[in-house]
């Protein structure tokens, strides 16, 4: 059984070191930065720590991309676009919560690629409660749906909020069964681009007592690659993930993998070896997932974790030094580091050792490459050059 670990959220800039709420102007800077080209959650964190704030990072983006070898000017999100999104979010009743703010889900901010801004709609108080993720097959069996409904209802009655991905099958059953106690839907697209469309009515019901969350802008139509991104948020919000039915290759197993990487508990419901819909869950059980046949199996594992969370004081976001004592890398250092990179992922620590260069300089070069769109991040914190 994998135990849950705690670590302080890093990557909070000068705007938030005091733990104060962002002003609207600061929130717009954050929104512009995360909506700029080649800036994801990890890059956002690196940028604000390097430059001391989102505004300075925005100013530096074009030069960073040039030094990283970008073949064209990258798009920096215009202020007008951010203001428009900010205004539309308010019209939809959406709150843009910044990582480190009191309302931001504590569990989610522990993962290393937590969204800098999380768009929340509905009753935001539910995302402060302990959560359990429940996911599974879209083409679920009647038995799988019935068990999901029972587990979700009993988990909700025990004071734990059920979170899922609003998908067909197991996800929808988990949401419906926990409407009375509050449930959270994690969206792959914008709050106004619901997938699948037939679950718009279900989402409306969820919002009466629960919430929906997304890291994507309004108007964003979900694409295939957006669903794994969503899955990391489902597991990141939760204490653990229950997989009810999952084929050998399925999005639910991606969620389970994220849960393991994030230090979450993984639960699985056993199924018939003759049913391909349960091949994935049976494989998880062989690998050490907690076997679930009733809600008590889940509660026995989660209650000690919840008790520990309640007893431990909330950690203040840890600030990383924003100064680079070693200065900026010269062309020789930059060339040496880039030459060590290739299509095969390598650990950053190995890159630092092999380049015989300081950690600060290596991370600065990697930041340049990432903003230029020339760097890919892989599991375990490994990196590689992006294909041309």
150 & 223 share domain: yes
**Strands 265-268 and 240-243: what pairing?**
parallel
172 & 249 share domain: yes
149 & 269 share domain: yes
Show which of 311, 340, 363 is a domain's final residue. Answer: 311
166 & 247 share domain: yes
225 & 369 share domain: no
Non-local CB neighbours of 322 within 8 Å, separated by 6+ positions: 13, 14, 48, 49, 50, 51, 52
183 & 274 share domain: yes
- Residue 40 domain flag: no
226-258 residues labelled b (16+ CB within 10 A) or e (exposed): bbebbbbbbbbbbbbbbbbbbbeebbbbbbbbb
- Residue 10 domain flag: no
Q: What is the distance between the alpha carbons of residues 385 and 343, in angstroms, rounded to a whole number?
A: 5
Q: What is the distance between the alpha carbons of residues 30 and 82, in angstroms, rounded to a whole number?
A: 9
285 & 202 share domain: yes
Three-state DSSP state, 382: strand
Count of structural domains, the chain: 2
Long-range pairs for 233-236 at CB < 8 Å and ≥24 separation?
233/108, 233/115, 233/186, 234/133, 234/135, 234/163, 234/164, 234/165, 234/186, 234/258, 235/133, 235/259, 235/262, 235/264, 236/107, 236/108, 236/110, 236/111, 236/114, 236/262, 236/264
Six-digit token pair at 222?
Answer: 């979900």
188 & 219 share domain: yes
pLDDT tens-digit map of 116-158: 999 999 999 999 999 999 999 999 999 999 999 999 999 999 9
Q: Would you give the DSSP letter of residue 100? A: T
| Contact in structure between 169 and 136 (CB atoms under 8 Å) | yes
Q: DSSP string covering 16-48, please?
A: TTT-PPPPHHHHHHHHHHHTSTT--HHHHHHHH
Q: At 230, which CATH number? A: 3.40.50.450
Six-digit token pair at 357?
Answer: 């260069």
Reported residue count of the chain is 388
296 & 345 share domain: no
317: left (phi over 0), alpha (psi -120 to 50) or beta: beta
Show which of 245, 276, 311 is a domain's final residue. Answer: 311
Q: At 377, which CATH number? A: 1.10.10.10
- Residue 116 domain flag: no
187 & 222 share domain: yes
- Residue 29 domain flag: no
- Residue 343 domain flag: yes
150 & 277 share domain: yes
Provide φ and ψ at 206, rounded to 5°.
Answer: -60, -40
265 & 360 share domain: no
- Residue 214 domain flag: yes
- Residue 184 domain flag: yes
- What range defines the domain where residue 354 resides? 331-385
pTM: 0.87
Tens digit of each residue's pLDDT, the chain (388 residues): 333 222 233 344 444 444 558 999 999 999 999 999 999 999 999 999 999 999 999 999 999 999 999 989 999 999 999 999 999 999 999 999 999 999 999 999 999 999 999 999 999 999 999 999 999 999 999 999 999 999 999 999 999 999 999 999 999 999 999 999 999 999 999 999 999 999 999 999 999 999 999 999 999 999 999 999 999 999 999 999 999 999 988 999 999 999 999 999 999 999 999 999 999 999 999 999 999 999 999 999 999 999 866 433 333 333 333 334 446 888 888 999 999 999 999 999 999 999 998 999 999 999 999 999 999 888 777 899 988 7
Within 183-264, strands assigned E span 183-186, 211-214, 240-243
- Residue 207 domain flag: yes
């Amino acid at each position: 059984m994998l135990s849950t670990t705690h670590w302080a959220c890093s990557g909070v800039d000068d705007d938030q070191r005091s733990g104060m709420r962002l002003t609207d102007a600061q929130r717009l800077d954050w929104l512009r930065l995360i909506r700029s080209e080649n800036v994801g959650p990890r890059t956002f964190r690196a940028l604000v720590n390097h430059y001391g704030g989102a505004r300075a990072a925005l100013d530096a983006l074009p030069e960073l991309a040039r030094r990283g070898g970008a073949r064209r000017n990258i798009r920096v999100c215009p202020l007008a676009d951010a203001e428009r999104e900010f205004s539309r979010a308010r019209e939809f009743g959406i709150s843009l919560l910044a990582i480190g703010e009191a309302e931001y889900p504590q569990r989610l901010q522990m993962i290393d690629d937590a969204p800098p801004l999380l768009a929340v709609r509905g009753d935001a108080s539910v995302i402060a409660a302990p959560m359990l993720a429940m996911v599974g097959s879209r083409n679920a069996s009647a038995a799988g749906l019935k068990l999901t409904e029972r587990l979700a209802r009993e988990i909700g009655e025990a004071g734990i909020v059920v979170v899922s991905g609003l998908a067909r099958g197991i996800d929808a059953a988990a949401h419906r069964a926990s409407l009375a106690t509050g449930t959270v839907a994690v969206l792959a697209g914008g709050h106004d681009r619901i997938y699948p469309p037939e679950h718009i009515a279900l989402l409306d019901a969820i919002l009466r007592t629960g919430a929906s969350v997304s890291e994507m802008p309004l108007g964003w139509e979900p694409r295939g690659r957006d669903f794994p991104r969503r899955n990391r948020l489902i597991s990141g919000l939760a204490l653990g993930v229950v997989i009810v039915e999952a084929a050998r290759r399925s999005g639910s197993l991606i969620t389970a993998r994220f849960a393991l990487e994030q230090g979450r508990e993984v639960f699985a419901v056993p199924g018939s070896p003759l049913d391909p819909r349960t091949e994935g869950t049976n494989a998880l059980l062989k690998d050490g997932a907690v076997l679930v046949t009733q809600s008590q199996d889940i509660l026995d594992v989660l209650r000690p974790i919840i008790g520990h969370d309640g007893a431990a004081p909330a950690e203040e976001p840890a600030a990383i030094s924003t100064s680079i004592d070693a200065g900026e890398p010269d062309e020789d250092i930059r060339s040496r580091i880039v030459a060590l990179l290739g299509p095969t992922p390598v650990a950053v620590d190995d890159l630092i050792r092999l380049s015989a260069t300081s950690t600060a300089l290596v991370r600065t070069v990697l930041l340049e490459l990432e903003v230029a769109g020339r760097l890919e991040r892989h599991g375990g914190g490994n990196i590689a050059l992006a294909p041309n």
